[in-house]
């Protein structure tokens, strides 16, 4: 099985946790001007009128009527509107059982001609979720940063048939992007294709003391052989990968929650706040409090 086929296999897609966080039609003007925006959710824009610009993944895009544009989760991007434009936006997550967002691991054609059904399906999606709107449009405001976690915690009150329909709408809109998708060349993509069970185990037991024998047992391999094979496939040793996952989780919690350093340390499996601060500073280059101040 090829790398792309492994990541995009039907079993993984069937288990995808796809949730709509916000959907709305808006008409921004010159205030729509943001730099280095990054969020733990993906964005889908349908341009209806006017012109705007965005850049990410080393590319610059002109947002014109009739275009459907995708910004995957955790993608740094700039956006700018010189006058005004009318568009639909959807904020959503596409989370694999490992806890990693599928779209954040893929490269694809990020802008395509909108299919004929795009406007009608987005109008229907908004009708299903009439109250799911962004709390504000400034991505650096506290209420904006907190809304994804808040919505994900909320119980989905829509009728089963409407939920089922919304899943179909999102898959219909995302299918054209997935046709051109291939795995990004990063450690998460490489780990997901070969060691999905290990990733799931790390995600489910993040707050516990995990060892190399634990991960080797999940993979069904001798710990030393597992470590060597993991490094060959992923590029780093399993324990270093675990450390990076812990730091990434801590960064997310620092930027999006009011949890204390002690609470975050426990959440990522480093019970001592002192050891967590040393560990985080060594891995990220700054202390947890400095990271929180810079990203909030």
Span 255-264, pLDDT tens digits: 777 889 999 9
Percent of the chain having pLDDT more than 90?
Answer: 50
* DSSP assignment letter at 136: -
**List of residues 6+ apart from 103 with CB closer than 8 A:** 42, 70, 72, 73, 94
Q: How far apart are CA 239 and CA 4, in angstroms?
A: 25
Q: How far apart are CA 245 and CA 252, in angstroms?
A: 11
The Cα-based distances of 251 to 66, 186, 287, 293 in angstroms read 37, 18, 11, 11
- The structural domains of the chain, ordered by start, are 3-183 (2.60.120.10), 195-295 (1.10.10.60)
- Mean pLDDT comparison of 2-11, 113-122, 143-152, 285-294, highest-scoring range: 113-122
Give pLDDT, residue 10: 66
Q: CB of 41 within 8 A of CB of 132?
A: no
- Mean pLDDT comparison of 9-23, 44-58, 174-188, highest-scoring range: 44-58
Give pLDDT, residue 257: 77
pLDDT one-digit tens code per residue, 69-104? 999 987 889 999 999 999 999 999 887 765 667 888
Nearest Cα to Cα of residue 121 among 175, 78, 158, 74: 175
Give pLDDT, residue 1: 41
* DSSP assignment letter at 187: H
E strand or H helix that includes residue 274: helix 273-284
Least confident of 53-62, 137-146, 194-203: 194-203
Give pLDDT, residue 111: 97
Percent of the chain having pLDDT more than 70?
Answer: 91
Q: How far apart are CA 271 and CA 168, in angstroms?
A: 42
Work out the pLDDT band at 191, boundaries 50, 70, 90: low
Q: How far apart are CA 35 and CA 196, in angstroms?
A: 34
The Cα-based distances of 127 to 43, 136, 281 in angstroms read 19, 20, 46
């Amino acid at each position: 099985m090829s790398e792309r086929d492994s990541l995009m296999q039907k079993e993984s897609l069937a288990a995808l946790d796809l949730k709509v966080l916000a959907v709305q039609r808006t008409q921004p003007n010159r205030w729509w001007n943001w730099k280095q925006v990054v969020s733990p959710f993906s964005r889908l824009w349908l341009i209806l009128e006017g012109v705007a610009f965005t850049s990410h993944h080393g590319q610059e895009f002109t947002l014109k009527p009739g275009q459907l544009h995708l910004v995957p989760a955790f993608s740094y991007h700039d956006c700018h509107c010189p006058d005004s434009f009318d568009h639909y936006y959807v904020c959503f997550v596409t989370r694999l059982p490992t806890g990693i967002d599928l779209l954040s691991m893929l490269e694809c054609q990020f802008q395509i001609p909108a299919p004929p059904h795009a406007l009608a399906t987005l109008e229907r999606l908004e009708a299903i979720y009439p109250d799911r709107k962004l709390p504000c449009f400034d991505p650096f405001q506290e209420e904006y940063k907190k809304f994804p976690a808040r919505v994900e915690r909320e119980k989905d009150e829509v009728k089963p048939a409407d939920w089922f329909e919304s899943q179909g709408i999102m898959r219909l809109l995302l299918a054209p992007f997935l046709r051109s998708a291939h795995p990004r060349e990063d450690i998460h993509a490489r780990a997901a294709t070969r060691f999905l069970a290990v990733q799931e185990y790390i995600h489910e037991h993040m707050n516990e003391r995990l060892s190399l024998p634990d991960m080797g047992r999940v993979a069904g391999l001798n710990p030393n052989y597992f470590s060597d094979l993991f490094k060959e496939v992923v590029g780093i040793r399993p324990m270093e990968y675990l450390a990076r996952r812990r730091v990434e989780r801590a960064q997310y919690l620092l930027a999006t929650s009011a949890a204390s350093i002690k609470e975050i340390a426990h959440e990522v499996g480093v019970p001592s706040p002192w050891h967590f601060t040393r560990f985080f500073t060594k891995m990220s280059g700054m202390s947890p409090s400095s990271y929180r101040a810079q990203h909030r």
